[in-house]
Amino acid sequence: MIRNGAKENRVTKWLVSGPPLVFLLVFFVTPSLIMLFTSLRFPGEFGGLAPIISPTEAAQGEHGLTLETYQLFFSDILYAEVFLKSFIVASTSTLICLIMAYPLALLIARSEKRFRNLMVLLVVLPFASNFLIRIYAWMIILGPESVFSHFINGVLSAFGVAPVTLLFSPFAVIVGMVYVYLPFMVLPLYTNLEKHDPALLDAAQDLGANAWQRFWHVTWPLSLPGVFSGSVLVFIPVLGMFAVPDILGGTGDILIGNLIKDQFLGTRDWPFGSTLSIMLTLAVLAITALSTWLARPASITKG
């Protein structure tokens, strides 16, 4: 009886987890392997890929497998700079999202239960309209003739500072990123903060902790798992994002995402585009591993 039950359990387990596993295998693992393979090939003369022919023939021309693109990546400091710049933009956006989302998540988590769902709905409401339309809206808001620009420059000139252009700058890129990804920070934070036992705050206060101490010694350490998952959810997509810098950034604001897009659609150098993608994937994996390790249960206790 028990054996049968165990067997049945195993069957159920595969029936439930099988389809998503197959999906990931076909649409994630396979493309990743294709990408890896592509990165080792030569580009075709008019874009795309050069055909693969026998090694002897390949020795005479560019038709085999090669590590050339990886050499290119590591030989030119320009690519490292783009990576570094992307990391700076992603970390800055993540940090700003965190600073803006934390009080909001705390407010929702501590408000009356019947208002919470409505407030969460308001946080995700921007998703109801198209992403590109929202970014183009920022183009107008930050444009040189906008009320916002006039106001900022008015304030600046009052302090004797020369007027600035808001649009097509790193500032505009970060504003766009923060705007798009803020909900991804609010939701995991809220989910975490909402589960905190209010008795813990009472206990802390009872034992002599003032408002700041209650936050720093109780709320903040308990919310770290939420902070980590929110940060990962913002940091990783911002790192690869190309639409926002395309629309709001200037010519000097190219990020990895733009670089990769250009390799495939502009220069049509598929092998190098694949190499850049793989380097990005490796960087993201390293960051995920690091943050998972930092957020491991032994160091931060989940509720």
- The residues in 33-92 that bind other proteins, with binding defined as CB under 8 A, are none
Cβ atoms of 148 and 228 within 8 Å: the answer is no
Secondary structure (3-state) at 267: coil
Q: Which is nearer to other proteins, 165 or 205 (CB)?
A: 205
Instruction: Tell the smallest beta-carbon distance from residue 199 to other proteins (Å).
Output: 4
Do residues 157 and 76 touch, judged by C-beta distance below 8 A? Answer: no
Number of residues that bind other proteins (CB under 8 A): 20
Among 222, 232, 278, 280, binds other proteins (CB under 8 A): 222
By CB under 8 A, what part of segment 242-301 binds other proteins? 300-301
Nearer to other proteins, 150 or 296 (CB): 296
d(CA 216, CA 146): 41
Residue from 47, 61, 144, 221 binding other proteins (CB under 8 A): 221
For residues 69 and 39, is the Cβ–Cβ distance under 8 A? yes
Q: Does 112 bind other proteins (CB under 8 A)?
A: no
How many angstroms separate the CA atoms of 210 and 208, rounded? 7
46-50 LR contacts (CB < 8 Å, sep 24+): 46/268, 47/268, 47/269, 47/270, 48/268, 48/270, 49/270, 49/271
Give Cα 204 to chain centroid, integer Å. 35
Residue 65 has phi, psi (to 5 degrees) of -110, 150
Give Cα 55 to chain centroid, integer Å: 41
Closest distance between other proteins and the C-beta of residue 157, in Å? 47
Interface pattern 152-191 for other proteins (x via CB under 8 A):
----------------------------------------
The structure tokens 């308001």 sit at 122
Chain residues 190-219 in contact with other proteins, contact rule CB under 8 A = 197, 199-200, 202-210, 213, 217-218
Q: How far is the CB of 95 from other proteins (least distance, A)?
A: 23
**In the complex, which residues of this chain contact other proteins (CB under 8 A)?**
197, 199-200, 202-210, 213, 217-218, 221-222, 300-301, 303
